[in-house]
């Protein structure tokens, strides 16, 4: 049975404390959204109490679920404006145990895995439910009433095709969504294949979450960034030697060997591994058919990743660009230390920015800079780089 924690703080109060301590600058836009998030928290608290108020609480909760839904929040805006900070505050304060905070790619990888497992059960005759979406949605809802997604983005056609059906089921059960994104809903999956089949999800999202913009003149993430020599450019002999020296320093206490990660009956090949560090080329990761779930599996295995020979990406390299964006998202979200060699600095890797990839690459650049900052590297230092 869920306990009701006694939270004495709100998102607005937490934000005020950070301002008073001099950790952030007061931003009226952030406080306006903080107030909206506190409304969501209070609605969750009220519904939770109502569902536990009597022996028939489950019945009243069900009626409330269908008659008085709680609107979530979809917060969009440029990188580094504080969206993730606000969402994380909300997640920590939400007065329920059934809540989940995940990177969107990680969540969808989980969904596809559950659908695959359901279909296997159907083949084995263990279930008669042919449609896997309702039971998968039911299982997800039993685990989390509140879903928080950081950097909501849709680039994969398999994700795009299932989102409307999945969230129709989740919202009908009373699921509450809080998400951050670089783009407003109308620009999600903007140039995607068969986008017309994705459009019902945008309508569904707007019906179940308030859409708010958080744009300020300051990129708070970039303000605190101090670059460190972990991004080697250009690609020349001197930087190749520096890359090799860094690898030797990381791997000196371990045997260097090829490795492989098994996933769903196939293997992800790792050219060089040593303890909790691995070394790949850009082609190994982004010119082969790997996806978000594969990158997350790599991030679970290793705490330091070397990626070398990252090129400037041309319009013809759309698939490679997509994979690179997803790779950086996965490494950043997992707190992986990245050492890279590249043809250019992050902001110059995609000279022609069009459509969805253009929006998303701004986030990639910001994350790559933060991954070179002292704060980020200090946090990754808590993860061992040797076995």
Through-space distance between the first and last CA atoms of the chain, rounded to whole angstroms: 40
User: Does residue 249 surpass a pLDDT of 70?
Assistant: yes
Q: Would you state the structure tokens that stand for residue 356, as one six-digit string? A: 């969805």
Give the C-alpha separation, 91 to 103, whole Å.
13
Q: Determine the Cα–Cα distance for residues 219 and 216; give it in Å rounded to an integer.
A: 8
Q: How far apart are CA 356 and CA 287, in angstroms?
A: 19
Among 79-93, 128-142, 309-323, which stretch is predicted with the lowest mean pLDDT? Answer: 79-93
Q: What is the 3-state secondary structure (H, E, C) of the chain?
A: CCCCCCCCCCHHHHHHHHHHCCCCCCCHHHHHHHHHHHHHHHHHHHHHHHHCCCCCHHHHHHHHHHHCCCCEEEEECCCCCCHHHHHHHHHHHCCCCCEEEEEHHHHHHHHHHHHHHHHHHHHCCCCCCCCCHHHHHHHHHHHCCEEEEECCCCCCHHHHHHHHHHHHHHHHHCCEEEEEECCCHHHCCCCCCCHHHCHHHHHHHHHHEEEEECCCCCCHHHHCCCCCCCEECCCCHHHHHHHHHHHHHHHCCCCCEEEEEEECCEEEEEEEEECCEEEEEHHHHHCCCCCHHHHHHHHHHCCEEEEEEECCCCHHHHHHHHHHHHHHHHHHHHCCEEEEEECCCHHHCCCCCCHHHHHHHHHHHHHHHHCCCHHHHHHHCCCCCCC
pLDDT in tens, 107-118: 998 999 999 999
pLDDT at 130: 93
Higher pLDDT, 62 or 316: 316
What span, in angstroms and rounded, lies between the C-alpha atoms of 208 and 203? 9
Q: How confident is the model at residue 48 (pLDDT cuts 50, 70, 90)?
A: confident
pLDDT the model gives residue 3: 41
Of the CA atoms within 13 Å of residue 321, those in its CB half-sphere come to: 25
Q: What is the average pLDDT across 190-219?
A: 86
Yes or no: say if 267 and 240 are a contact pair by the CB < 8 Å rule: no
Closest CA to 111 of 176, 69, 150, 161: 161
- Please report where in the chains the tokens 């839904």 appear, as a residue: 69
Q: pLDDT at residue 279 above 90? A: yes
Strand pairing report for 231-232 and 266-274: unpaired
- Return d(Cα 110, Cα 329) in angstroms, integer: 16
Q: Supply the pTM of this predicted model.
A: 0.62
HSE, CB side, 13 Å, CA atoms: give it for residue 29: 14
* CATH-assigned architecture of domain 11-213: 3-Layer(aba) Sandwich (3.40)
pLDDT at 272 over 70: yes
Question: Would you say residue 81 has pLDDT above 90?
Answer: no
Average pLDDT, the chain: 85
Residue 147 has phi, psi (to 5 degrees) of: -110, 125
Q: Give yes or no for residue 175 having a pLDDT over 50.
A: yes
How many degrees, rounded to 5, is the angle at CA 281 between CA 327 and CA 349? 60
Tokens 């090949």 belong to residue: 269
pLDDT of residue 385: 37
Position of tokens 């969904």? 111
Q: State the pLDDT at residue 343.
A: 95
- pLDDT for 167 equals 96
Rg (Cα) of the chain, in Å, rounded?
22
Place 33 in a pLDDT band, splitting at 50, 70 and 90. very high
Domain boundaries defined on the chain: 11-213, 224-380
253 pLDDT band, cuts 50/70/90, is confident
Per-residue model confidence (pLDDT) at position 154: 86
Per-residue pLDDT reduced to its tens digit, 354-378: 777 778 898 899 899 888 887 787 7
- Compute CA distances 9 → 5, 12, 93, 173, 381, whole Å: 11, 8, 8, 28, 31
Tens of pLDDT, residues 309-345: 999 999 999 999 999 999 999 999 888 999 999 999 9
Place of tokens 């080697």: 232
Residues 6+ apart with CB under 8 A from 261: 267, 268, 270, 297, 298, 301
């Amino acid at each position: 049975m869920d306990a009701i924690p006694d939270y004495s703080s709100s998102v607005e109060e937490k934000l005020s404390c950070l301002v008073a301590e001099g950790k952030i600058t007061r931003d009226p836009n952030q406080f306006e959204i903080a107030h909206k998030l506190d409304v969501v928290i209070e609605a969750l608290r009220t519904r939770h109490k109502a569902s536990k108020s009597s022996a028939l609480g489950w019945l009243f909760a069900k009626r409330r679920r269908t008659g008085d839904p709680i609107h979530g929040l979809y917060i969009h805006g440029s990188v580094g404006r504080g969206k993730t900070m606000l969402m994380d505050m909300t997640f920590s304060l939400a007065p329920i145990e059934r809540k989940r905070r995940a990177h969107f790619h990680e969540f969808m990888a989980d969904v596809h895995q559950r659908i695959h497992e359901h279909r296997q059960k159907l083949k084995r005759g263990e279930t008669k439910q042919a449609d896997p979406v309702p039971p998968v949605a039911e299982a997800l809802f039993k685990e989390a009433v509140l879903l928080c997604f950081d950097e909501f983005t849709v680039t994969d056609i398999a994700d795009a095709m299932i989102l409307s059906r999945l969230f129709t089921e989740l919202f009908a059960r009373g699921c509450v969504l809080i998400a951050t994104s670089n783009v407003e809903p109308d620009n999600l999956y903007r140039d995607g294949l068969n986008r017309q089949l994705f459009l019902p999800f945008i309508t569904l999202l707007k019906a179940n979450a308030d859409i708010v913009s958080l744009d300020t003149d300051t990129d708070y993430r970039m303000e605190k960034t101090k670059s460190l020599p972990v991004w080697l450019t250009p690609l020349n002999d001197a930087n190749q030697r520096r890359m090799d020296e860094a690898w030797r320093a990381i791997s000196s206490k371990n045997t260097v060997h090829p490795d492989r990660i098994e996933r769903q009956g196939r293997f992800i090949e790792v050219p060089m591994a040593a303890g909790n560090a691995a070394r790949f080329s850009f082609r190994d990761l982004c010119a082969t058919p790997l996806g978000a779930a594969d990158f997350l599996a790599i991030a679970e295995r290793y705490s330091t990743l070397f990626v070398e020979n990252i090129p400037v990406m041309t319009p013809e390299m759309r698939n490679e660009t997509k994979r690179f964006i997803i790779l950086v998202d996965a490494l950043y979200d997992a707190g992986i230390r990245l050492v890279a060699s590249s043809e250019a600095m992050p902001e110059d890797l995609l000279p022609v920015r069009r459509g969805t990839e253009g929006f998303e690459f701004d986030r990639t650049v910001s994350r790559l800079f933060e991954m070179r900052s002292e704060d980020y590297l200090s946090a990754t230092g808590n993860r061992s780089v040797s076995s």
